[in-house]
Amino acid sequence: MKFSYQKYPADPNTAFPERKRALRPVIPIGIVGKDKNTYHYEALIDSGADHNIFHAEIGELIGLDVKQGKPLNFWGVTGEKQQAYFHSIEIEVGGHRHKIYCGFVYDFKNLAYGILGQDDFFKLYAVEFDLNKERLELKPRYNR
């Protein structure tokens, strides 16, 4: 499966005075709720992230009692300690459904998308990033 990088506006700054946009490997996914409906969400494929992390509000939307999940304190994108509550959920990527283990965070408002990290997601797919072509490719791993 091939996905185009998403383009986000970016302000020029001292280090990058010509910068007008930022490219991110963000893909559309579906999250399957307890009601069996699929909820659309966007997630950054992040090879530097250990875990899958989504907004707690999406966890509530799909019918989870978020704070009943297994807690984990971590330091992430904000640089400050955050608390995630982990649950097993089902996601859909390119029409394929998978079970993953995902943390839900309440203090995640500064990020516009969720994060798909090393644990679980990179076991499902070989990921090839190609910034020059502004796309990424996911190749299913069938040995899981």
At 115, list the tokens. 């994060």
Residue 129's pLDDT is 97
Q: How far apart (Å, rounded) are the C-alpha atoms in residues 17 and 83?
A: 36
Q: How far apart (Å, rounded) are the C-alpha atoms in residues 122 and 138?
A: 9
Residue 141's pLDDT is 87
Total domains in the chain come to: 1
Residue 78's pLDDT is 64
DSSP one-letter code for 59? H
| DSSP three-state, residue 123 | helix
What does pTM read for this prediction? 0.90
Site of tokens 């982990």: 86
At 76, list the tokens. 């992430």
* pLDDT tens track for 111-137: 889 999 998 899 999 999 999 999 999
Residue 107's pLDDT is 84
Instruction: Write the CB contacts of 20 (distance below 8 Å, at least 6 apart in sequence).
Output: 9, 10, 12
What is the residue-averaged pLDDT of the chain? Answer: 92
The pair phi, psi for residue 108, each rounded to 5°, is: -130, 25
Query: Which residue range(s) make up the domain with 65?
Result: 2-140
Please list the rounded mean pLDDT of every run of 10 residues in the chain (144 residues).
Answer: 94 92 96 94 95 95 97 79 94 94 89 91 94 95 67
Q: How far apart (Å, rounded) are the C-alpha atoms in residues 30 and 39?
A: 5
**What CATH number is associated with residue 125?**
2.40.70.10
Residue 29's pLDDT is 97
Go through the chain and tell me how many residues it has.
144
The pair phi, psi for residue 86, each rounded to 5°, is: -95, 140
Residue 60's pLDDT is 96
